[in-house]
Structure 1
Amino acid sequence: MTMQTMTDEQRKSVAIEYLKAFDNGGVTSTGGSILDLFAEDAQVFFPKWGVANGKEQIGKLFGDVGGTLKSIVHHYAHFNWIFSSGDVIVCEGTSHGEHRDGPWRAGVPAWGAGNWCDVFEIRDWKIQRVYIYLDPDYAGKDTARYPWLSAK
């Protein structure tokens, strides 16, 4: 088995293809499935869902979460990228869209959904691991449990 050495920019291109596939309903720029971007034994973490292991579970996770979204748009011009030694890159960004419970936009309100951070491990042109950190309460309905929000 041989491993292909990838540059940071190549890993970044895979991560961008992944994010653009979300904006395009799970379809990549070549017309394939977002799952084509993953290694067979990849892992994905999503808050309130947990860790999905392997493409079958990742497909279930994306179906569950995607089933709550009407649309999503990532703000590519505002991404912050962090590159580490090895196969790990981090992308911090913002988004807007519409959840089944209502629309969201990063910064509206300032405490609401739309800010996120993804930690990727990308090797051999495949995503091996991505941990997604965000507030899954896209429509900002979960305010009663937080006194500083319910007072506003």
Structure 2
Amino acid sequence: MISKLTMTDEHRKSVILEYFRAFDNGGVTPEGVSILELFAEDAQVYFPKWGIATGRVQIGEMFQDLGARLVSITHDYAHFNWIFSGTDVVVCEGTSHGEHVEGSWCAGSPDWGAGYWCDVFEVRDWKINRCFIYLDPDYGASDSSRYPWLTKPE
């Protein structure tokens, strides 16, 4: 499909910020719109340990699966690092905190724990076409026995 709408990096950033706000608000934007409406019909989303979801229906299934494990999440907007490519690709790196069914987490507590993430987006025509999420999905820090450096006494 040929793009008909001109978007600047700031426009792309505004779409991505709307996505994070919706995620922090249980999947609904501040205007009351489903997070899925922010995605193109054939968009792809990757989440570790889930895989790649293609299309709004599968993305909705992925978000339902993830949401069933989250009690709450807050992204720390003031500390986002933005990387603009001069194309449709935008990288956003940041931190989060919240509560998971396995307990609460906060980036930096501990340093090796959950809460640090980096997402790679492609945004065209005011829709997210691709979002690949890179993070440690072990919010409860319960997978430490497989990593000997995490179980060393201090």
TM-score interval, normalised by the smaller of the two chains = over 0.9
Residue equivalent to 2:63? 62
**One-letter identity of the residue aligned with 1:58:** I
The alignment-based identity, stated in percent, is 68
Normalising by the residue count of structure 2, what TM-score does the alignment of the two structures yield? 0.96
The residue type equivalent to 1:75 in the other structure is D
Partners in 2 of 1:39 and 1:93 — Cα distance? Answer: 24
Match of 2:144 in 1: 143
Q: 1:92–1:2: structure 2 CA closer, same or farther, 3 Å change rule?
A: closer
SS at match of 1:62: helix
Q: Distance in 2 between matches of 1:57 and 1:16?
A: 22
Name stretches of at least 5 consecutive residues in structure 2 with no aligned partner.
Answer: none
CA distance in 1, matches of 2:3, 2:143: 48
- Does residue 104 in structure 1 map to residue 105 in structure 2? yes
1:117 maps to amino acid:
C
Q: 1:3 Cα shift? A: 1.9
SS at structure 1 position matched to 2:142? coil
Q: Which residue of 2 aligns with 1:19?
A: 20
Q: What code does the residue aligned with 1:25 have? A: G
CA distance in 1, matches of 2:140, 2:108: 13
What RMSD, in angstroms, separates the aligned Cα atoms of the two structures?
A: 0.9
- Distance in 2 between residues matched to 1:2 and 1:46, nearest whole Å: 27
Q: How does 1:1-152 map to 2 (within 5 A)?
A: 2-152=3-153
Q: Shift of residue 2 of structure 1? A: 4.9
Using structure 1 for the length normalisation, give the TM-score: 0.98
Give the letter aligned to residue 57 of structure 1.
Q
Report how many residues are paired: 152
- Kept in 1, the 8 Å contact 2:3–2:125? The answer is no
Instruction: For structure 1, list consecutive stretches of 5 or more residues without a partner in the other structure.
Output: none
Measured in 2, the distance between the counterparts of 1:2 and 1:150 equals: 51
Q: In structure 1, what is the Cα distance between the partners aligned to 2:151 and 2:5?
A: 51
